Structure 1
Amino acid sequence: MNKVMLIGNVGKEPDVRYYDNDQAVAQFPLATTERGYTLQNGTQVPDHTDWHNIIMWRGLAKVAEKYVHKGDRIYVEGRLRYRSYDDQKGQRRYVTEILADNMELLSTRHDTDAEKKTAAQSDERKETANDTKSPLPF
């Protein structure tokens, strides 16, 4: 069985191309991160991020074109595909891709916009709190 399940953040806007008979193909990178931790001896293990090449076909590609954007958190289910090609210099290149069969949007535009607004408000509060012209002595 060849099955992959990923939850991550979209790295850039999907690149959608149309071929014969309105056949859509979407491609975009997806970042998954394993959180860092501290070992019992105190050694810090940092976060580790992997980048995955996601490929979607037909209707799923059209959904990605409309609703998936850079920074969105999504769930992708599919299968691994390995392939190779020769580049312009004749060098053999190897590619690993996830051929998506299913996708779920875990963040919405509203969520993303709300997070940005909350972060901006938090920054404003920090600036106000650090204001040195305050008449209070402490």
Structure 2
Amino acid sequence: MLNRVILIGRLTADPELRYTNSGTAVATFTLAVDRPRPNQSGERETDFINIVVWQKLGELCAQYLHKGRMAAVDGRLQIRTYENRDGHKVRVAEVIAESVRFLDRADGNGKTAPAADAQKSKPAPAKPAPPANRFEDDPFADDDPFAGDLVPDISDDDLPF
């Protein structure tokens, strides 16, 4: 059997950090994840997924993640049931995170720095000149998918989905 969830999205609010009676840290936050395809009216929909992070990783998330930050979460789906104050049974779906990666950089205040401002404030690093024979050192040296001149300019109309 397999229960694995991998999500990439942005936090809708700062993580909430609490401690159990035994002193174990638990952080919770909601991740906004865009759906891959537009709906019938052409609009992109977003799912808001509850994330639970335990122990030291939860403390790190509470310290470094903030509203708007992009994060990748790898974990498992958990469905739990409880009775609310009115006596009604409530089912909750949440992802129990085993790994969380912070995918964007924060400014000095811990808030997300907009990508456009980050580009304006720092000049682009100079690209080293390739060796005389490109395949002497590293045959994959020029295959950086994040280099600006190698990223193809593809419109949404060109994509098959």
TM-score scaled by length of structure 1: 0.74
Q: Does 1:57 align with 2:60?
A: no
Alignment of 1:63-74 (within 5 A): 63-74=60-71
Q: Does 1:91 align with 2:92?
A: no
Which structure dedicates a bigger proportion of its chain to helix?
1
The secondary structure found in structure 2 opposite 1:22 is coil
- 2:14 matched to 1:13? yes
> Where does residue 75 of structure 1 map in the other structure?
72
Name the SS of the counterpart of 1:63 in structure 2: helix
1:46 to partner: Cα distance = 1.3
Extract unaligned runs of 5+ from structure 1: 119-138
Listed one character per residue, the Cα deviations across residues 77-109 of structure 1 (whole Å, up to 9, x for unaligned) are 000000111111111111000000001000121
User: Aligned pair in 2 of structure 1 residues 116, 56: CA closer, same or farther (>3 Å)?
Assistant: same
Aligned partners of 2:43 and 2:36: how far apart in 1?
7
Q: Following TM superposition, where does structure 1 have runs of at least 4 consecutive aligned residues deviating by more than 6 angstroms?
A: none
Give the number of the structure whose residues are more often strand, by fraction.
1
Q: Contact 1:35 / 1:46 at 8 angstroms: preserved in 2?
A: no
Give the SS at the match of 1:69: coil
- SS of 2:86 mapped into structure 1: coil
Query: 2:104 corresponds to which letter in structure 1?
Result: S
Which structure 2 residues correspond to residues 1-138 of structure 1 after superposition, within 5 A? 1-37=2-38, 44-110=41-107, 112-115=112-115, 117=117
Map Cα deviations across residues 5-59 of structure 1 (whole Å, 9 max, x no partner).
0000001111100124531000010010025559xxxx65210100100000001
TM-score, normalised via structure 2 length = 0.64
SS at match of 1:62: helix
What percent identity do the matched residue pairs reach? 32
Give 3-state SS (helix, strand or coil) of 2:112's partner. helix
In 2, the alpha carbon distance for the partners of 1:64 and 1:81 equals: 20
Contact 1:9 1:72 in 2 (8 A): yes
**Residue ranges of structure 2 left out of the alignment (5+ in a row):** 119-161
